[in-house]
Amino acid sequence: MVRLVHCVLVIALAIAYPTFAQEASDAGIAILQSGQVEFDARLFDRKSNARSEQFEITPFTGTRITCELDRREVNQNGVTFLGHVSGEPHSLVSISQSTVGIIGYIRSTKFGTIDIRPGATGKTFARQLDVAHLATCPMNETARNPIPRGAIPTSDCDDGSVIDVLVVYTTDAKTAAG
């Protein structure tokens, strides 16, 4: 339980403070590598209806990933790209652009699990997660990306992205604290 809480805390800090990702990587906890990534703005063109588009991203030095578009979903909040890594039909790519920035993930056997998030500086960062340090989930998948701070969930189920903390003080603790 302590390891899980520590892992969640490290991931939460790495999300809030991208520079912390390197420190977490140095400690060998959950994040294998991280780096800044840029996307071609045409990928998120709301008017495009292409079905066979490809695009490349370089999330880390020396790592180039070619992604293929399977489906693009457009709504008033942004655009979501759904696809797979080229040459890996069982991989999964989900990248969304909204008012908070670009967020998503890439899961593949070759590249592992790569988390994509906006940073505090307005830039987009990619982090390769060490899934061996994460809590096990159904089908050995990491938990879904959390909803950006202050956003309203798009579904009525709890996706586990919010950590609920309840602090209860007993009367003895209140008295002792003054």
Kindly report the CA angle at 97 between 94 and 101, in degrees rounded to 5? Answer: 120
Any domain includes 137: yes
pTM value is: 0.57
Any domain includes 156: no
pLDDT class for 129, splitting at 50, 70, 90? confident
- Quick check: 11 pLDDT over 70? no
Contacts of 24 (CB under 8 A, 6+ apart): 10, 13, 14, 30, 31
Tokens of 152: 């309203």
Any domain includes 114: yes
Any domain includes 63: yes
Average of per-residue pLDDT across 131-148: 60
Domain of 50? 2-143
Any domain includes 16: yes
Kindly report the CA angle at 139 between 37 and 90, in degrees rounded to 5? Answer: 55
Any domain includes 171: no
Q: For residue 147, which of 132, 157, 139 has the smallest C-alpha distance?
A: 157
Kindly report the CA angle at 155 between 168 and 89, in degrees rounded to 5? Answer: 115
- How many domains is the chain partitioned into structurally? 1
pLDDT class for 8, splitting at 50, 70, 90? very low
Any domain includes 164: no
The pLDDT of residue 131: 75
CA distance 68 to 112: 17
Q: DSSP states of 132-175 as a string?
A: GGSPP-GGG-PPPPPPPTTPPPSSSS--S-S--------HHHHH
Comparison of pLDDT for 45 and 37, the residue scoring more: 37
Any domain includes 78: yes
Angle, helix 20-27 to helix 2-16, in steps of 10 degrees? 150
Average of per-residue pLDDT across 118-123: 82
